[in-house]
Amino acid sequence: MSDLIQHLTDQTFSSAVAQGATVVDFWAPWCAPCRELAPIMETLAAEFQGKATFAKLNVDDFTPLSEQYDVLSMPTLVIFKDGQPTERIVGSLPIDQLRARLQQSL
């Protein structure tokens, strides 16, 4: 895991998404599509460096947060702008589709 993607906890979540654009990957270790998405997130975090912050939240460890944001399927990416969720992407998409969705949202 590179230092381009933050690992969030219930203690760090609010401050991490409070300012600017933040892409949060709600994931679980047992989720195969989540593991497929991990290297794609690394690539996109590098591409969007300076435009958005990328972070991951383990839904098994922080279930109340995932429930707060209605995360029912994984992976789910939620894009926050200044603390407010503005977009959600459910499922593992090819990198080109994810890149296009992020470019529209950021």
Rounded to 5 degrees, φ, ψ at 41 are -60, -40
Q: Domains in the chain, start-ordered, CATH in brackets?
A: 5-105 (3.40.30.10)
Question: Strand ranges (DSSP E) for the chain?
Answer: 5-7, 21-27, 53-58, 76-81, 84-90
pLDDT score recorded for residue 48: 97
Helices 95-105, 32-47: crossing angle, 10 deg rounding? 50
Rounded CA gap, 32 and 99, in Å? Answer: 21
Q: Virtual CA dihedral for 36, 39, 71, 87, nearest 10 degrees?
A: -130
Residues with catalytic annotation? Answer: 31, 34
pLDDT score recorded for residue 2: 62
Give tens-digit pLDDT for 46-104: 999 999 999 999 999 999 999 999 999 999 999 999 999 999 999 989 999 999 999 99
Residue 10 scores a pLDDT above 70: yes
